[in-house]
Amino acid sequence: MIASHWLYRIWAQQYLLPLIGSKFEMGMSFTPDSLNLKFNLSESISNVECKWVDGELVLSKGSVVKESSKTKKNAVVQFKALEGKTVESVSVMILDRLVKMDFLDGYSLVFKGFGRFSNIILIGPKGKVDQLFRLNFKEDWNFNIESLSKERWWNLELPIDVEMFTVLIKKHKNIISRDEHFWNNFNDGDFIRSYQELDLEFQNINYNIVLSSYNVGKSKKEIYYDIFNIVNEIIKNHYFNSKFNKTQRQLLKKFEKLSAYKVGLEKQKINLESRRSYKEIGDLVISNAHSIKKGVSEALVTDYFTGHRIRIKLNKDLNAAQNAEKFYRKAKNESLELAAIDEKLFNTESLLSSIDKQLEELKHVNSLSDFQKLKISTETDKNSESAKSKQSTAKKYIWKGIEFWVGKNAKSNDWILRNSNKNDIWLHASGVAGSHGLIRNVGLSSLKNEDLEIAASITAFHSKGRNQSLQTVLYTERKFVSKIKGGNAGQVKVQQFETIDIEPKDFVKFIQS
């Protein structure tokens, strides 16, 4: 649909507004898809032609039909009740394809441009439909002009209230997106600003000049289509500019945010690598175990790495060996933390490289078709459905007819719970953060030990315990697992479970072995 509410307003301003004060002389239709409205203003005759082009109602300045014309003799007279009545005002429905001519005696002529449901309706003094031009639309006999929002009718003789106009744009956003699907992804700020800018562009179009610039040999249908193409190009170009600028801003903002995040990760890594490791502290405690007694909260020992005396904080309820073991366990987490930082750095650098490439590609985009071919990553738009889908779905493995899901993140873990059956087998690494695992459509009674071991090993690999030689994994039927009310994504409570100790392995290792 190309004939938007902008176009109807401009037609009303150009062809109907100058008729205020004129008298309606006659309405004539020569075909079921054309209507000529004749007005008399100070002894001067003016005609408005209403024509259906490819199912859409368009208005234009019509040619005067002479009294002696044979064409007139073949015409059907329309809206006879309006003859001799004076045009009082012309109004448009803001954000919709409705134009209304009010006459002094209480009659109104409504131009309803609803695509293939378009019609011209005569409303009588009592507000009821008096006549329809297109009689096949029987529902239009129930057209109730009083039911339409009065705040949206704008008398074209009056200046528009910008504040009210802005409120209406927000309130009736669905009407605009119905007319122009280009606006679907705009937020309120971008939407209002872009709408107002586009509105100014439409006001600057002189359709009379466009019409007069064509050769006489060109048919009116071709001229109408040419006007539609001009309007369509304006909308497309405006949409392209708005969408292009918004995407570029999003990418630059994302690049800036990720760059700052990368700097922070690099600082974390330097601090982690430069500080005294927990393993070294554990070694110092063991080497001085003869002088460290249970019950002390700190020990002053010689650091054989530097030759200096240092203080080490201890748990007074533990002996030297137990304190050392505590530091060794922290050392394992320390290596996991370092590995996690390295992984985050790698992913962040990959994203930065991808965004940098997209920004470079944007420099060579000159049209909407170029922009659509570019396929900018939807992950730059956090609100897009595809981005949400990527965040929510789980990774799937299949072996020997077994289907196994493992979560990618907290939201993905919730997705697994929502999309599972009560007898599916749920798994999770014990005592550490990690992904949920799910063996689909296999009950515990029929599950083979080797399949349980593979699923448990993959689950352990997708947890913070992936670097352990053995990791305990919980498993139970899905019906014994439930979301914690008000809890964060991925948080669950488990009523009963069994455990298995397993070596964490990626699925690839099972395939290779």
User: How does pLDDT run across 237-296, given as a tens digit for each residue?
Assistant: 665 676 777 788 888 999 999 999 999 989 988 887 777 778 888 888 888 888 888 888
Do residues 213 and 222 lie in contact, with contact meaning Cβ atoms separated by under 8 Å? Answer: no
Q: Is the pLDDT of residue 472 over 80?
A: yes
Q: Is the pLDDT of residue 387 over 50?
A: no
Give residue 427's pLDDT band: very low, low, confident or very high (50, 70, 90).
very high
Do residues 36 and 47 lie in contact, with contact meaning Cβ atoms separated by under 8 Å? Answer: yes
Instruction: Provide the percentage of residues in the chain whose pLDDT is more than 70.
Output: 74
Instruction: Provide the percentage of residues in the chain whose pLDDT is more than 90.
Output: 23
- Domain boundaries of the chain, sorted by first residue: 5-158, 254-380, 393-512
pLDDT tens digit sequence for 401-423:
888 999 888 888 888 888 888 88
For residue 425, give the nearest of 402, 400, 401, 393 by alpha carbon.
402
Q: Is the pLDDT of residue 219 over 80?
A: no
Give residue 162's pLDDT band: very low, low, confident or very high (50, 70, 90).
low
The partner residues of 310 in beta bridges, in order of sequence, read 301
The partner residues of 163 in beta bridges, in order of sequence, read none
Q: What is the pLDDT of residue 182?
A: 40
∠ CA 280-283-286 to the nearest 5 degrees? 155
Give residue 150's pLDDT band: very low, low, confident or very high (50, 70, 90).
confident
pLDDT tens digit sequence for 317-336:
888 888 888 888 777 667 67
Q: What is the pLDDT of residue 484?
A: 81
Within 433-496, residue ranges assigned H as helices are 449-461
Q: What is the pLDDT of residue 390?
A: 44
Average pLDDT over residues 150-169: 73
Q: What is the pLDDT of residue 215?
A: 44
Give residue 206's pLDDT band: very low, low, confident or very high (50, 70, 90).
very low
Q: Is the pLDDT of residue 111 over 90?
A: yes
Average pLDDT over residues 295-324: 85
More confidently predicted of 376 and 284: 284
Q: Is the pLDDT of residue 199 over 80?
A: no
* Average pLDDT of every residue of the chain: 78
Cβ-based burial of 215 (10 A; exposed 0-12, middle 13-18, buried ≥19): exposed
Give residue 397's pLDDT band: very low, low, confident or very high (50, 70, 90).
confident
CB burial readout 58-89, b (16+ within 10 A) else e: bbbebeebeeeeeeeeebeebbebbeebbbeb
∠ CA 467-472-478 to the nearest 5 degrees? 120
Q: Could you please report the per-residue DSSP string of 34-80?
A: EEEEEEEETTEEEEEEEEEETTEEEEEEEPPPPTT-HHHHTPEEE-G
Architecture of domain 5-158: Roll (2.30)
pLDDT tens digit sequence for 334-365:
767 777 788 788 888 888 888 888 888 888 87
Average pLDDT over residues 61-79: 67
Residues in the chain, overall count = 513
